[in-house]
């Protein structure tokens, strides 16, 4: 597969990629760096897909540990990993696929460390549902001209990408934080905005049909249901979008609208506004 300085292990590992992508494209992936924010239901499957694609370096971020409630959808969650840090479990798993992979682990996302985290990144995957870090990440990424791929654990597969050519993430959601210091907002204000953001996704055609009044009340309290098929479908769409960005192929799902697929009715739903 080309005249590249690949170890025998790497060449064997990515051998079946040949024919779908070229050796030159594979080398581009090997030299690329991806940041994955969140090792939960969406972030961890996306991370595994990108590891198996042969990306050479990652920065992964999560401050949580696995518990039993994660096992219905989080790909690295099992009896043996309960109580262990998600980023360390993910790193160990990835090393068993590609021992040559480089992975940096982080647990905090703050204005003071975000530039360090995303430095050298070629693409960012945003797979967290807490508003404040999302704003911090998206602002820093825009300044550093790094594409941000986003998706939500909705019943429908969904993905969109923010670049220099799209509205900002805060514009897309109509957030009150736009143009203001994030420190000006209390945790309660940010939590409220985050809840409103989630309810705004209910405007998408067919989404509200999946949630009873009781579930909606739970979402308002921070109890968000999730299901492996819907999380993983979005994960794969996000990972594929990141690969398209890195290889400069295909059509990117640029924001502010999501590119979305309803697997239950096999349709492209109306986004709604």
Average confidence (pLDDT) over 20-39: 98
pLDDT at 114: 98
Average confidence (pLDDT) over 8-14: 96
136: three-class secondary structure by DSSP:
helix
Rounded to 5 degrees, what are φ and ψ at 245? -65, -45
| Residues with Cβ within 8 Å of residue 69, at least 6 apart in sequence | none
Q: Which two tokens stand for residue 225?
A: 């249901």
103: three-class secondary structure by DSSP:
strand
pLDDT at 151: 97
Residue from 46, 41, 49, 37 nearest 73 by CA: 41
Angstrom CA distances, 265 to 156, 205, 229, stand at 10, 11, 15
Angstrom CA distances, 228 to 43, 135, 187, stand at 12, 26, 30
C-alpha dihedral sign at 132, 272, 229, 57: negative
Res. 220: pLDDT tops 90: no
User: What is the distance between the alpha carbons of residues 126 and 144, in angstroms, rounded to a whole number?
Assistant: 16
Rounded to 5 degrees, what are φ and ψ at 18? -60, 130
* Three-class DSSP labels, 119-130: CCCCEEEECCCC
pLDDT at 272: 60
Weakest-pLDDT range from 23-32, 182-191, 206-215: 206-215
Contact 162, 145 (CB under 8 A): no
Weakest-pLDDT range from 40-44, 88-92, 222-226: 222-226
pLDDT in tens, 87-98: 999 999 999 999
Q: Of all helices (H) and strands (E), which one includes residue 33?
A: strand 33-37
User: What is the distance between the alpha carbons of residues 267 and 204, in angstroms, rounded to a whole number?
Assistant: 13
pLDDT at 3: 73
Weakest-pLDDT range from 46-50, 107-111, 218-222: 218-222
pLDDT at 273: 56
Res. 2: pLDDT tops 60: no
Q: Which two tokens stand for residue 249?
A: 């192929």
Average confidence (pLDDT) over 110-136: 96
Res. 224: pLDDT tops 60: yes
Res. 182: pLDDT tops 90: yes
Q: Residue 130's CB: how many other CB atoms inside 10 A?
A: 13
* Mean predicted lDDT score pLDDT of the chain: 95
Contact 91, 105 (CB under 8 A): yes
Contact 200, 187 (CB under 8 A): no
Res. 221: pLDDT tops 90: no
pLDDT at 223: 83
State the DSSP code for 38: -
* Three-class DSSP labels, 216-239: HHHHHCCCCCCCHHHHHHHHHHHH
pLDDT at 46: 98
User: What is the distance between the alpha carbons of residues 145 and 121, in angstroms, rounded to a whole number?
Assistant: 10
pLDDT band (50, 70, 90) for residue 43: very high
Contact 194, 129 (CB under 8 A): yes
Res. 185: pLDDT tops 60: yes
Could you tell me what percent of the chain has a pLDDT over 90? 87
Average confidence (pLDDT) over 219-230: 88
Res. 20: pLDDT tops 90: yes
User: What is the distance between the alpha carbons of residues 183 and 206, in angstroms, rounded to a whole number?
Assistant: 36
Instruction: For the chain, give percent helix, strand, coil, nearest 5.
Output: 45, 15, 40
């Amino acid at each position: 597969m080309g005249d590249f300085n690949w170890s025998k292990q790497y060449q064997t590992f990515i051998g079946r990629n040949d024919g779908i992508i070229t050796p030159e494209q594979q080398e581009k992936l090997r030299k690329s760096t991806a940041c994955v924010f969140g090792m939960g239901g969406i972030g961890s499957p996306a991370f595994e897909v990108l590891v198996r694609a042969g990306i050479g370096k990652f920065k992964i971020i999560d401050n949580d540990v696995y518990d039993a409630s994660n096992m219905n959808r989080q790909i690295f969650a099992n009896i043996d990993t309960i109580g262990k840090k998600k980023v360390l479990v993910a790193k160990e798993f990835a090393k068993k696929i590609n021992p040559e992979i480089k992975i940096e682990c982080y647990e905090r996302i703050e204005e003071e460390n975000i530039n360090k985290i995303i430095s050298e990144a070629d693409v960012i995957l945003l797979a967290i549902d807490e508003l404040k870090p999302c704003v911090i990440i998206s602002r820093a990424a825009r300044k550093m001209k790094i594409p941000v791929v986003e998706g939500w654990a909705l019943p429908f597969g969904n993905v969109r990408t923010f670049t220099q050519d799209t509205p900002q993430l805060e514009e897309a959601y109509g957030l009150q934080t736009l143009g203001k210091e994030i420190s000006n907002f209390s945790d309660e204000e940010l939590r409220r905005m985050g809840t409103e953001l989630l309810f705004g996704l209910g405007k998408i055609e067919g989404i509200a049909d999946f949630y009873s009044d009781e579930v909606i009340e739970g979402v308002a309290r921070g109890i968000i249901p999730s299901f492996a098929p819907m999380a993983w479908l979005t994960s794969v769409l996000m990972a594929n979008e990141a690969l398209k960005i890195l290889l400069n192929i295909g059509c990117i799902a640029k924001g502010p609208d999501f590119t979305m697929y309803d697997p239950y009715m096999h349709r492209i739903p109306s986004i709604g506004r």
